[in-house]
Structure 1
Amino acid sequence: MIKISQRLFSTTRPILQQPLVIKNSRIAASVILTRGPQITRDATPFEQAYFDYQEKLDRHDSAVFPQDFYFKKGSVAERRWKEDVQSRDAAMKDPSVSLSAAIQRDSTTPAATTTATTPIQLADRITQADKDNDIKKLDRALQRHLYLIVKQHNQWQFPQTDLQANEYLHEAKTTAAERQLQEACGKDMDVWFVGRQPISHLKQSPSRKEDTEGLKIFFMKARMYAGQAKPNNKDVSDYAWLTKEELATYLSPDYYKAIKDSLGDL
């Protein structure tokens, strides 16, 4: 009997994973990672006019407020309340001034700041990152969706990788999209994949005549809740967080056309 040496099996090289190719097209997975709006958006002129109209209509139909029951005669609170009533009455006669704007305007006057009540200070809706146009910061464009793109192989795109022969798009724990996101942008992000099915796809023909394989990219949707991208892949040289309109200036026309309808309008 011929004895087979165990060393033969120990020196066998592992089988290398091959890209998944279907009908002469490599299959790639990409991640559309978004940071949602952090504050409510500004109202349009029509929305603001409708809100002001409803506010004045409610005040016109409201019952008389019993101020003698709630405020002590001659108190600071009573004086402040009367000032607010005068501001509202003046705004009721002026269609161009809203009740909220009238109260806010009078609360910032020198006379109002001498009272016991502290005027309301509204936070600035424009951050320092907006002023500096820092596209790497997540605290910019707080009213809008921001999307993560990376400069991969010297071109801007969403994080992307080829599927291996043993990978699937729909597997919850071992998706190629999730693997690529961690490899390219680090693990310091709290990310949730919205679904297990792609929301869009792009088919690309071979870029060179000598190439025999095309490329089909399937885009998976994900949301980011915390953290920041930290590229640690040699193929990724840069990254940016951009709005939908800004993406059009970075991505190629065909690439942007394939994914624009999958992006939020905000």
Structure 2
Amino acid sequence: MIKNSRIAASVILTRAPQITRDATPFEQAYFDYKEKNERSSSAVFPQDFYFKKGSVAERRWKEDVQARDAAMKDASVSLTDAVQQRQENTTTGTPIQILDRTTQSDKENDIKKLDRALQRNLYLIVKQHNQWQFPQTDLQANEYLHEAAERHLQESCGKDMDVWFVGRQPITYFKQSPSRKEDTEGLKIFFMKARMYAGQAKPNNKDVSDFAWLTKDELASYFSPEYYKAVKDSLSDL
């Protein structure tokens, strides 16, 4: 039985998504339906007012209109895709180019880089005492949880990160039982929420021997089942 517990402060540091996520098939179908429904009920565009008769701009506009009219009759083609396909096939003008949403760090699975999983939240985890966890430290005398969390993050992971602590209240906690039967102390870890806007973690190798930026799904393979269960509901599914 745990009579007393040590108190520790930990930081759930998040790098927010950098790009919008891909739409699900249902969402894409809904967007296409809404776009076509709005076009069918929209007013006629006064092209004579905006385009000079016989100009290149008028010709391109008419080609776009023809592509959209054809897409209106085909439920499997969106209006946006139809115009984009028309521009890619034309020999004049600069076609729209969509950049790859997968980075080199994704391809190399470099979990120390921040330019990976751009559609997802990334969380900073560190290796302390030969186990993976969020950055964590015991409270010092007369120290609040948010003060301890901020102090330890700078001491263990460097000051080259622009970090904002969302609040002064923990978002969840984990109660860890004593590792040995003769111990009377357990450990209560309170997790503070923070966001990173710029910079990179630079462990000092004294308290932290390694670090990684992982998604919520990836964390499950690094944390113990009990630890992950305590924090998973406080992490975003994105």
Give the structure-2-normalised TM-score: 0.96
**What amino acid does structure 1 have at the position aligned with 2:95?**
P
- Post-superposition shift, 1:57? 0.8
**What amino acid does structure 1 have at the position aligned with 2:141?**
A
Match of 1:237 in 2: 209
**What amino acid does structure 2 have at the position aligned with 1:246?**
E
Percent sequence identity is 84
- Post-superposition shift, 1:37? 0.8
Runs of 4+ residues deviating >4 angstroms: none
Match of 2:224 in 1: 252
- Post-superposition shift, 1:234? 1.1
Residues 56-75 of structure 1 aligned to structure 2 (within 5 Å): 56-75=36-55
**What amino acid does structure 2 have at the position aligned with 1:234?**
K
The reply to whether residue 32 of structure 1 matches residue 4 of structure 2 is: no
The reply to whether residue 184 of structure 1 matches residue 156 of structure 2 is: yes
Deviations 1:42-81 (A, max 9, x none): 1111111111011111111112212222222222111111
Please give the secondary structure, in 1, of the residue aligned with 2:221.
helix
- Asked if structure 2 preserves the Cα contact closer than 8 Å seen for 1:36 and 1:223, the reply is yes
Deviations 1:69-116 (A, max 9, x none): 22222221111111111110110010000000111111111xx2x32x
**Which of the numbers 14, 24, 27 marks the counterpart of 1:47?**
27
List gaps (5 residues or longer) in structure 1: 1-21
- Post-superposition shift, 1:119? 1.8
Please give the secondary structure, in 2, of the residue aligned with 1:236.
coil
- Post-superposition shift, 1:212? 2.6
Q: How many residue pairs get matched? A: 237
- Post-superposition shift, 1:241? 0.5
List gaps (5 residues or longer) in structure 2: none
Pairwise CA RMSD: 1.3
**What amino acid does structure 2 have at the position aligned with 1:188?**
D
Structure number with greater CO (CA < 8 Å, separation at least 6) is: 2
- Post-superposition shift, 1:23? 4.5
Please give the secondary structure, in 2, of the residue aligned with 1:108.
helix
- Asked if structure 1 preserves the Cα contact closer than 8 Å seen for 2:16 and 2:122, the reply is yes
- Asked if structure 1 preserves the Cα contact closer than 8 Å seen for 2:87 and 2:95, the reply is yes
Match of 1:9 in 2: none
